[in-house]
Structure 1
Amino acid sequence: MGNLSNLLHGTIRWTLLFMLLLLAGNSQTLTAQVVKDQLSQNVTHATTSKKHVDSLLKLANTKKDTATADAMRLFYLGMEDARMLKYNNGVAHALAGLAMCYNNNNEKDKALSCERMALHYCEDNPEGLEMQLNVYLFMSQTFYYKGKYDSSAFYRYTALDVLEAHNIKDTKMQTRVYCSLLDFWLNINENIQNDMHIQQVMGHVNNLVDSAKVKKDTMGLVLLYFYKAGYFNNILQNDSARAYCAAAIQMGKTKKMSASMEAGLLINTGLTYLDDKNPAPAIRYLEKAKALFPPNNHIRNRHQIFADICIGQGYLMQQQYSKAVAITLPALKDAEDRHMIHLLIGRGNQVLADAYEALGQYKKAAAYRKAYNIVRDSMMKVEKLELVYNLEMKYRIADKNKELAEKQLAITRNESRIKTKNMLIIAVSSGLLLILLVSLLIYRNNLHKQKLQLEKIRNLRQELQISNLQAMIAGEEKERSRIARDLHDGMGGTLGTIRTRLSAIFRRHTTTDVTEDFREVLQLLEEASIELRKTAHNLMPEILLQEGLIKATALFCERVNKGHTLEVNFQSLGICTGLSAEAELTIYRVIQELIHNILKHANAKHAIVQIACYETQLAVTVEDDGNGMLTNAQSDGIGLKTIRERVNSLSGFLHIDSVPGEGTSVHIEIGIKQNNTSRHAYQTSDC
């Protein structure tokens, strides 16, 4: 078993799978009656079209593996129709199909003859280029199985030259070419992980994977993942190989991929488990691959034959020798009858030799061992050819590099002469360009300085305007404070004294006639004192200085509710810190002015005052359900102008949103300096 593992390494298995995928077709057999109907249908057509030829060739292509003779008749018929139409690409397609049929019959020389003829019929258009690439790849496979590896490599690289010469960007065509190159190098070299050619091709394959992901080309990814799995299988990273196979199977199911592709992925997954000496899951995956094709088909699919031989190897690992013989023997006979590649036949002979030897049937074991040794000797010859080919490829690459170097030297000399002739022009142009560049830089610098200067002037004007507003507001507040003190200390004291004296007189000289008059006078004095105190507090509210903006505003709203029909709802969010006393007073005056405007002009029933304090910003919102107003700044009255000036003095933002008949909403935002971490709390009160 050690010899089998070393001889039939992953590179051989991937050659088998590539050939199976290239040549596999529909597993259903084309009966004589179907062919007869198809031929009859072609005869009855009065005219033949390119579409009809393509349809005929497509039908033949699906039958080339299971009904080779019938497929060849259809290819010949399609070729004659294409020649009659002078449809050269159709002729090339038919010849390529015939070549694959001859390959199925192990007639390699006839296959090569058809492939060479097909090249002459490929037209100079995208369809013809694609056909030309496919023919080169078919030829490379034919030469590979003839044992001519240098010719096989030549035609693969010829396909690559066509791809690059015509700058073909079609990812499907690129995928075929680079995957074919990867398949070749995986099967021709032993030191896969460090091989320069394989790493170069893997770079292209990885780029194609990225492109397919971007374009969401699911089937392209399936094929690319198949070959990436082959790469990881060959460098003995079977977990990665299985991961790519599983991903390809999952994606392929969404696009209904062909049974041949899915079978190839399942078989490869099973082979990785055989490599790991884990036959149970290997047999399970191989059975799944077989189940994709009709079990009662009298001509078994190539995947079924390959899967049976591998299942036999799995039974051999499980020491179920009779089962290994029972499944491998008919599969090997089918492989020999259908001229399947010698690598697969060698695997079957090895399995049978080991199984018969374990069963004690040494004569049969010796016969199959001899057949296996023939294949082994052939492979030893292959190894020598691989060595020769590698040397040839190195010389070929060296010659190509030398030719490229000579061309590059000639180009360099021409460029040097051109540079010498144009040196003066370049020097003069460079000088002019330098002068122009310096001039532009100087102009740009001056323009930038002018902009900075204008910006400074605008900033100074704004600062001056804000200073004037702040000075004016400070003066107003001082005057309000003076009037408030005079009212409170002067007139307030006088009214208090008068009320006290009248109360004393009322107690000493009360009579029936004057009692009601005295009481009325005292009541009027009491009301006058209260109004005087309200006026004084409005002019300079002490609670604002003692308790801050939130409580002063809440008290103001409460007073408005008690003295008017307007219902004011006050809300606050957060705790305002970092505001100066002057800023709090200015904001308080703005709120006062907005509420007074609502009372005077809005004819509203409800209003909302909201103060929200954040870390670096204070927001004030005043809304009502009144008459609304015009929001144009040019139509502002004295009150709104005063409000705008006060907000500007704090470098704030004022926005008024009003619709006539639907109320008004005023929103103010003012930046604040936060010294301490604020504690957010939500307060609400119906003032």
Structure 2
Amino acid sequence: MGNLTALNYRRIPLCIMLLLLFAGNCLSMPADDRKHVDSLIKIAALKRDSSSQGAEKIYTQAIRLAQKINYNYGVTKALLGLGTCYNNSSQKDKALACGRMALQYCTNDIKGHEQRVLTYIMLSHTYYYKGKYDSSAWYRYAALGELESNRLLDPKMQMKVYCSILDFWLNIHDDIRNDLHIQQVMQHVNVLVNKAKDRKDTASLMFLYFYKAGYYNNIQQNDSARYYCQTSLKMGNLNNMANSMKAGILINIALTYIDDKNPEKALLSIQKAKELFNRGNDYYVRQQLFTDLVSGEAYAMQHKYDKAIATIIPALNDANERHLAHILVTRSYRILADCYDATGQYKKASLNRRTYSELRDTMMKVEKLELVYNLEMKYRIADKNKELAEKQLAITRNESRIKTKNFLIIGISAGLLLISLVSILLYRNDLHKQKLQQEKIRNLHQEMQIGSLQAMIEGEEKERSRIARDLHDGMGGTLGTIRTRLSSIFRRHTSANVTNDFIEVLQLLEEASSELRKTAHNLMPEILLQEGLAKATALFCERVHKGHTLEINFETWGTAPALHADFELAVYRIIQELVNNILKHAAARTAIVQIVYHERQLCVTVEDDGRGMLLHHGAYDGMGLKTIRERMNSLNGELHIESTPGQGTSIHIEFTLKQNTSRYVIKTSNC
């Protein structure tokens, strides 16, 4: 909190202060020894940012003196200060040792519980710097459990705990707007803000606004984030805020400008932050790393890609050496990949984009989300345990009265519950029966409709087959006989007067015979039964192309599996109907028919560049389409139509096959 209670010591020269403390140490009584320990701790706190080694010596002296006089509170406080010094100088293992030792000196009174909370928070920071994020989170929630189980009501202590939890998730969770657990933490923070306003405690508001700014920055409400950052800075000027915290606020302001795509203002804020760095400690290194990452992203927005690359790479290397997990670090790999793309270094761009995806997917979505759920569960279990303890205490105080009421409540509740369960089961059983009956009726109607359609289609195909045989075997044979006889007569009785007439009659007979064969083939194409759907469709498209001005292309993709003849005939009829619609109504110049076999799917696409179709009551209408839809329903297929007036029509149908297709090949033929 900036050690606000020790500000007057800054006016006293350090050598005189140490001399006075030494003299006091020699002459003081045991009660004065405690004051001496407290004074040493205050002096060390003042020196912590400027001279870490000097602060360590003073803290060590305070620890020895406090142990000598059995001043547990002083031992714990000095150990926490010494652990903070070790954190600043990157001696994380020594910091952990200080924290563990401090826990042994925490007493069971209110001060002892508060010191245990502060120790847990210090340990959580140390584990965070070591890259042990599960341990870091555990100690933050241990601090929360200590706070709530011992009813520590000090607002500043509550602020330290809730802001510590919020700070953890702001650094490793890229989107907390829908996280209910974070919303609960923010509710506590807002309550603390209101209490600080009532007390006119600007020092507490300064820190609370700092974390509110981080929260709004995370949920992309950057105007609110900048407001709280700037308000925190103003309050910091009145409360001697540490330069490291001012620099952190300026970095957060720069991040809001980055999110708003304003790199110039972001770089100005970064420059102000760099002027406040306290060089020589671990905070400085981390802040330098973050400013480099933000600067690199700003340079990338300004299209200064080479400068962005040169700035980001050393910072990312430093982050990897420190095992630092932070949203900004993960995002920087994506920025670096974009810069490599812009400069034509596509291989490096691909590697960095892959690293970004792995970090985001693996670390953020798996490890961190699992940790969120586990910690939320522990937190809720702790709440439940606390509630149970409170209820047990109430039951103990009112045991005789509550027992009687409990028996009555249990009996009545059991009866009501039994009645409710029976009613629910009866209702669900009746509802289930109704649903089954409705489902049976619906299935019966559907089966009847499908059966009717199939019967109609089978009858239609049988009639087509009969007419085709009659035409081919009856009229076709007759026309063939007539043509043969006329040819024989023409050869025996040739004269100049009748030659042209005979030739014309023979040509007409040839055309009639050809048209008859085409008609018979369309009614029941033999090639469909012999060669399959693709060959029959290709031949149909070729005949359409020869007999009309429409340029129609046919394509088939994939290897056709063995299909039932009735199924292939039904699909062939649908294709015929779609092509005939193009010839009759579309006035198209070109069209394409495509059949695709892929795994368990048969897809048919028919497209043209004609006049298109108009919607009627939200759907495409017409007798031809109605017939096609009926056939599709009988085959359990899907029909999709896309049409724009004046720009053509695309019709796509899909069927799910029972057989699996073989290897994937491509064949194309143009009619």
When normalised by structure 1's length, the TM-score is: 0.49
Give yes or no for contact 1:619–1:669 (8 Å, CA) kept in 2: yes
- Residues 163 and 626 of structure 1: is their aligned pair in 2 closer, same or farther, counting only changes over 3 Å? farther
* CA displacement at 1:636 relative to structure 2: 2.5
1:478-517 pair list within 5 angstroms: 478-517=462-501
- Would you say 1:624 and 2:608 are equivalent positions? yes
- Residues 415 and 650 of structure 1: is their aligned pair in 2 closer, same or farther, counting only changes over 3 Å? farther
- Would you say 1:600 and 2:584 are equivalent positions? yes
2:613 alignment partner, SS class: coil
Task: Measure the CA separation in 1 of the matches of 2:168 and 2:140.
Answer: 16
Give yes or no for contact 1:654–1:667 (8 Å, CA) kept in 2: yes
Aligned to 1:554: 538
Aligned to 1:450: 434
Letter in 2 for 1:669: E
* CA displacement at 1:262 relative to structure 2: 3.5
- Would you say 1:657 and 2:612 are equivalent positions? no
Task: Measure the CA separation in 2 of the matches of 1:101 and 1:684.
Answer: 99
Letter in 1 for 2:453: L
Aligned to 2:80: none
Aligned to 1:572: 556
1:38-57 pair list within 5 angstroms: none
Give yes or no for contact 2:479–2:509 (8 Å, CA) kept in 1: yes
Letter in 1 for 2:555: Q
1:26-175 pair list within 5 angstroms: 67-68=13-14, 102=21, 112-113=34-35, 141=63, 144=66, 146-148=68-70, 150=72, 152=74, 157=106, 161=110
Aligned to 2:119: 177
Letter in 2 for 1:68: L
1:213-232 pair list within 5 angstroms: 213-216=168-171
Give yes or no for contact 1:574–1:612 (8 Å, CA) kept in 2: yes
- Residues 592 and 100 of structure 1: is their aligned pair in 2 closer, same or farther, counting only changes over 3 Å? farther
Letter in 1 for 2:440: K
Aligned to 2:526: 542
Q: Which sits farther off after the overlay, 621-630 or 406-415?
A: 406-415
Task: Measure the CA separation in 1 of the matches of 2:516 and 2:22.
Answer: 116
- Residues 417 and 162 of structure 1: is their aligned pair in 2 closer, same or farther, counting only changes over 3 Å? farther
Aligned to 2:282: 262
1:157 alignment partner, SS class: coil
2:563 alignment partner, SS class: coil
1:485 alignment partner, SS class: helix
Aligned to 2:621: 636
Matched residue pairs, number?
A: 396
- Residues 138 and 163 of structure 1: is their aligned pair in 2 closer, same or farther, counting only changes over 3 Å? farther
Task: Measure the CA separation in 1 of the matches of 2:643 and 2:23.
Answer: 86
Q: Which sits farther off after the overlay, 205-214 or 569-578?
A: 205-214
Give yes or no for contact 2:558–2:665 (8 Å, CA) kept in 1: yes
Aligned to 2:574: 590
Q: Which sits farther off after the overlay, 623-632 or 529-538?
A: 623-632
- Would you say 1:670 and 2:612 are equivalent positions? no
* CA displacement at 1:429 relative to structure 2: 2.7
* CA displacement at 1:683 relative to structure 2: 1.8
Give yes or no for contact 1:644–1:654 (8 Å, CA) kept in 2: yes
Task: Measure the CA separation in 2 of the matches of 1:623 and 1:557.
Answer: 13
1:577 alignment partner, SS class: coil
* CA displacement at 1:452 relative to structure 2: 1.6
Task: Measure the CA separation in 1 of the matches of 2:596 and 2:549.
Answer: 26
Give yes or no for contact 2:602–2:655 (8 Å, CA) kept in 1: yes
When normalised by structure 2's length, the TM-score is: 0.51
Letter in 2 for 1:176: L
* CA displacement at 1:594 relative to structure 2: 0.4
2:491 alignment partner, SS class: helix
* CA displacement at 1:153 relative to structure 2: 6.4
Give yes or no for contact 1:68–1:101 (8 Å, CA) kept in 2: no
Give yes or no for contact 1:545–1:581 (8 Å, CA) kept in 2: yes
Task: Measure the CA separation in 2 of the matches of 1:100 and 1:444.
Answer: 86
2:607 alignment partner, SS class: strand
* CA displacement at 1:642 relative to structure 2: 1.0
1:270-669 pair list within 5 angstroms: 411-412=395-396, 414-415=398-399, 417-632=401-616, 636-669=621-654
Task: Measure the CA separation in 1 of the matches of 2:23 and 2:625.
Answer: 96
Task: Measure the CA separation in 2 of the matches of 1:180 and 1:598.
Answer: 78
Task: Measure the CA separation in 2 of the matches of 1:406 and 1:664.
Answer: 72
* CA displacement at 1:104 relative to structure 2: 12
Give yes or no for contact 2:601–2:655 (8 Å, CA) kept in 1: yes
Give yes or no for contact 1:142–1:152 (8 Å, CA) kept in 2: no
1:576 alignment partner, SS class: coil
- Residues 408 and 530 of structure 1: is their aligned pair in 2 closer, same or farther, counting only changes over 3 Å? closer
Q: How big is the alpha-carbon RMSD for the aligned residues of Structure 1 and Structure 2? A: 4.9
* CA displacement at 1:575 relative to structure 2: 2.0
Task: Measure the CA separation in 2 of the matches of 1:511 and 1:538.
Answer: 40
Identity %, equivalent residues: 57
Tell me the alpha carbon deviations over residues 244-279 of structure 1, each in whole angstroms, 9 at most, x when there is no partner.
Answer: xxxxxxx9xx998855753999xxxxxxxxxxxxxx
- Residues 653 and 101 of structure 1: is their aligned pair in 2 closer, same or farther, counting only changes over 3 Å? farther
* CA displacement at 1:686 relative to structure 2: 1.7
- Residues 557 and 174 of structure 1: is their aligned pair in 2 closer, same or farther, counting only changes over 3 Å? farther
List gaps (5 residues or longer) in structure 2: 40-58, 78-104, 126-137, 146-160, 174-206, 208-247, 252-272, 286-388
- Residues 541 and 158 of structure 1: is their aligned pair in 2 closer, same or farther, counting only changes over 3 Å? same
Give yes or no for contact 2:588–2:611 (8 Å, CA) kept in 1: yes
* CA displacement at 1:410 relative to structure 2: 8.0
Tell me the alpha carbon deviations over residues 145-174 of structure 1, each in whole angstroms, 9 at most, x when there is no partner.
Answer: 545265556886359845968xxxxxxx97
Higher gyration radius (CA):
1
